[in-house]
Amino acid sequence: MKVRFWGVRGSIPTPALENLRYGGNTPCVEVRTSKGKILIFDGGSGFRLLGKQLLAEFGHKSIQGHMLLTHFHWDHIQGIPFFEPLYNPENHFHFHSFISRLGTVQEALEGQMSDPYFPVNMSIMQARRHFHQIGKEPLELDDAVIHNLPLNHPQGCLGFRVECDGHVMVYATDNEPGSREHDRNVRELAKNADLLIYDAQYTPYEYSNFKRGWGHSTWREGVNIAEEVGVRQLILFHHDPDHNDVFLDSITEEARKFFPNVMAAWEGLEIDLSLDQHMKPQPQEQIERRLGSRQPIRVPLRIRGMRPDGTPFQEDTSLENLSVRGAFFLLDNDPDPNEPLQVEIRVAAEIEPGEPTQIIESRVVRNQDVKVANQSKRGIGVSFS
């Protein structure tokens, strides 16, 4: 059983330079069984890229695949209208999911291509399309047996467990911890799994302070599950739109302090469950290779704040990530989390003569140890006041 990731981002595509290593496409994971069965989990924007690869691979041959949809939120189905193999009458695709309050699986998928949301409707797709309601009983597809259980997510969601050739892969995204029934379900699915792909959209701080009720989880919950039920390899998935490459690196490093066999999913990641390589953490050379010769633009910052012992500090650094809600940067100093930080954005004189562009009052929302070129730094996330 081979697993390949085509989309790893949650909520909305994020085509940005700071996301190049992990990718900005929304969820799509491909599984190939030993007998050549194609299983596709979710049809986010990464589904478009999979379609192009399948066309290149199969040429004029018929393509047959099974799509297993966890639910019908946009980020999990928005790639379906752009999946080119669906427009070829020689191809066959089966769509499996639950009946939503909007109707059948077919009706739910046709809805996103209906007036006024899309220029053409789903009838333009000439591939032979089959729509199936998933029941409680396992789905058997040649050499693969697929179990499903409901997860805790607004409007419903399914988690999947694939058993094939003596190996187990679990796809459990869009799950919020805290429901006894659903917490039990995800652990039942993940028990003794070789590979657990789990929703880690938020940090524990983000979840507990801002995102309860949004239907997503944290890396900490993923680690808890993996430890409790004997998972061999944990993959953090469904990355938040505001978590760039550096931030995801820091999350992974923090998670590895508690569970060594963990990595954050990136587009293009391939895992062959018949080999032992998936038991190893993400190699550093993979990060370096994907960076290539790219030269990120660093915006200079000057940070002023207080250390935990009450002494003030001032340090020059550079911006790693910026959103409308806050920023992320690296420091040598360890700021007091209970004291405000003053973030001064500095622009070169040849770009903006005179004083620095802006001085912003902020508060620390994330503070963790980060290794950069074998040096220990503090990874600081701040929220703007």
Span 224-239, pLDDT tens digits: 999 999 999 999 999 9
What does the radius of gyration of the chain's CA atoms come to, in whole angstroms?
22
* Closest among 26, 117, 6, 127 to 77, alpha carbons compared: 26
* Closest among 291, 243, 292, 288 to 264, alpha carbons compared: 243
First to last CA, the chain: 49
Helix (H) or strand (E) holding 49: helix 46-58
Spatial distance between the Cα atoms of 53 and 67, rounded to a whole number of angstroms: 16
DSSP alpha helix (H) spans, the chain = 46-58, 74-77, 105-111, 180-190, 204-210, 219-229, 245-256, 284-291
142 DSSP β-pair partners: none
Instruction: Give the Å distances, CA to CA, from 238 to 44, 197, 200, 215, 331.
Output: 11, 9, 6, 12, 28
Reported as a single tens digit per residue, the pLDDT across 364-385 is 888 888 877 678 889 898 887 6
pLDDT at residue number 383: 85
Reported as a single tens digit per residue, the pLDDT across 119-137 is 999 999 999 999 999 999 9
The answer on pLDDT for 70 being more than 80 is yes
- Please state which architecture CATH assigns to domain 2-291: 4-Layer Sandwich (3.60)
Spatial distance between the Cα atoms of 299 and 114, rounded to a whole number of angstroms: 44
Token reading at 297: 């633009």
Asked if the 299-384 domain carries CATH number 1.20.140.70, the reply is no
Percent of the chain with pLDDT over 70: 90
Residues of each domain in the chain carrying CATH 2.40.10.220 = 299-384
Burial degree of 104 (CB within 10 A; 0-12, 13-18, 19+): middle
| Average pLDDT of the residues in 32-43 | 96
Residues of each domain in the chain carrying CATH 3.60.15.10 = 2-291
Spatial distance between the Cα atoms of 342 and 304, rounded to a whole number of angstroms: 5
| Average pLDDT of the residues in 146-169 | 97
| Average pLDDT of the residues in 187-201 | 98
The answer on pLDDT for 113 being more than 80 is yes
Q: Is the dihedral of CA 193, 197, 199, 202 positive or negative?
A: positive
Spatial distance between the Cα atoms of 264 and 235, rounded to a whole number of angstroms: 6
The answer on pLDDT for 291 being more than 50 is no
The answer on pLDDT for 213 being more than 80 is yes
| Average pLDDT of the residues in 302-320 | 92
**Please, which contacts does 137-146 make with residues 24 or more away whose CB atoms are closer than 8 Å?**
139/96, 141/33, 141/37, 141/39, 141/66, 142/33, 142/35, 142/37, 143/33, 143/34, 143/35, 143/37, 144/1, 144/31, 144/33, 144/37, 144/39, 146/39, 146/68
